[in-house]
């Protein structure tokens, strides 16, 4: 079973800033469940000038009590309070000259039950416009120390998608399809003239 959700929106911030914010998004006060972030690999290609990064995040999550009742806590590594932790593998490619960044995050464990793949594609918007006062958030202000103002102008388009895939559902579907095919074959032989 595969389910895909897609959405598009635009950030009122320039592409360089958005790509920087992506790498710096943890830790932040709204994501205290993210315990650690490590860089597994990072390659800069001098020819294409693309930067490819693989990171590993460790996230703590509260499990729904229904799930806790179904699966023993010892198996999940969960505490008595129902806290569990999971590893997320994130890959990203940034092409600063072409003005895009493609990111993908997936769960590392329990992929046999449910695999969740989150993708975000960021694109620099065609026309540059002067930085508006609306974009003067605290992060933009901090970043003006880091980046020249020319790099802080413009907007960034984002295409985000979440793909949910469960082999459980797939097996059920396969069995149903096989049963339907067998039934169809049976019907056919019956309806054939003798």
Partner 1 sequence: MSASLAPECNEIKERYDNCFLKWYTEKFLRGTATTDECAPLFQEYRKCLGVALKERGLDITIEEARGDNKENDDQHMRRS
Query: Distance between CA atoms of 42 and 32, rounded to whole angstroms?
Result: 25
Using the minimum distance from each CB to partner 1, give the nearer residue, 41 or 191: 41
Using the minimum distance from each CB to partner 1, give the nearer residue, 42 or 62: 42
Query: Distance between CA atoms of 131 and 150, rounded to whole angstroms?
Result: 9
Query: Distance between CA atoms of 34 and 79, rounded to whole angstroms?
Result: 17
Q: Which of 2, 8, 38, 136 binds partner 1 (CB under 8 A)?
A: 38
Spell out the residues 6+ positions from residue 34 whose beta carbon is closer than 8 angstroms to its own: 26, 27, 57, 58, 59, 60
Selected range binding partner 1 among 27-35, 64-72, 123-131, 176-184, rule: CB under 8 A: 27-35
109 contributes a contact to partner 1 by CB under 8 A: yes
Q: From the CB of 175, what's the least distance to partner 1, in Å?
A: 23
Neighbouring-strand partners of residue 119: 104, 161
Q: Which of 68, 71, 96, 160 binds partner 1 (CB under 8 A)?
A: 96
Query: Distance between CA atoms of 162 and 154, rounded to whole angstroms?
Result: 26
Query: Distance between CA atoms of 92 and 20, rounded to whole angstroms?
Result: 12
Q: Which of 11, 21, 51, 102 binds partner 1 (CB under 8 A)?
A: 51
Task: Write out the residues near partner 1 by the rule CB under 8 A.
Answer: 16, 19-20, 23-24, 26-27, 34-44, 46, 49, 51, 54, 56, 58, 87, 89, 91, 94, 96-97, 104, 106, 108-109, 111, 146-148, 151
């Amino acid at each position: 079973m595969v389910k895909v959700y897609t959405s598009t929106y635009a950030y009122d911030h320039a592409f360089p800033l958005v790509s920087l914010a992506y790498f710096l998004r943890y830790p932040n006060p709204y994501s205290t469940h993210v315990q650690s972030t490590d860089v597994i690999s990072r390659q800069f290609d001098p020819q294409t000038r693309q930067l490819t990064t693989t990171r590993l995040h460790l996230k703590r999550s509260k499990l729904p009590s229904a799930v806790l009742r179904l699966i023993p806590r010892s198996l999940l590594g969960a505490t008595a309070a129902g806290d569990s932790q999971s590893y997320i593998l994130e890959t990203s490619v940034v092409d600063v000259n072409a003005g895009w960044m493609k990111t993908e995050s997936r769960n590392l464990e329990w992929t046999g039950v449910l695999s969740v793949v989150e993708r975000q594609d960021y694109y620099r918007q065609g026309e540059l416009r002067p930085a508006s006062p609306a974009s003067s958030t605290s992060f933009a202000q901090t970043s003006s120390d880091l980046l020249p103002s020319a790099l802080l102008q413009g907007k960034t388009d984002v295409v985000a998608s979440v793909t949910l895939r469960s082999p459980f559902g797939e097996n059920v579907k396969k069995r149903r399809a096989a049963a339907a095919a067998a039934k169809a074959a049976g019907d056919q032989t019956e309806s054939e003239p003798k």
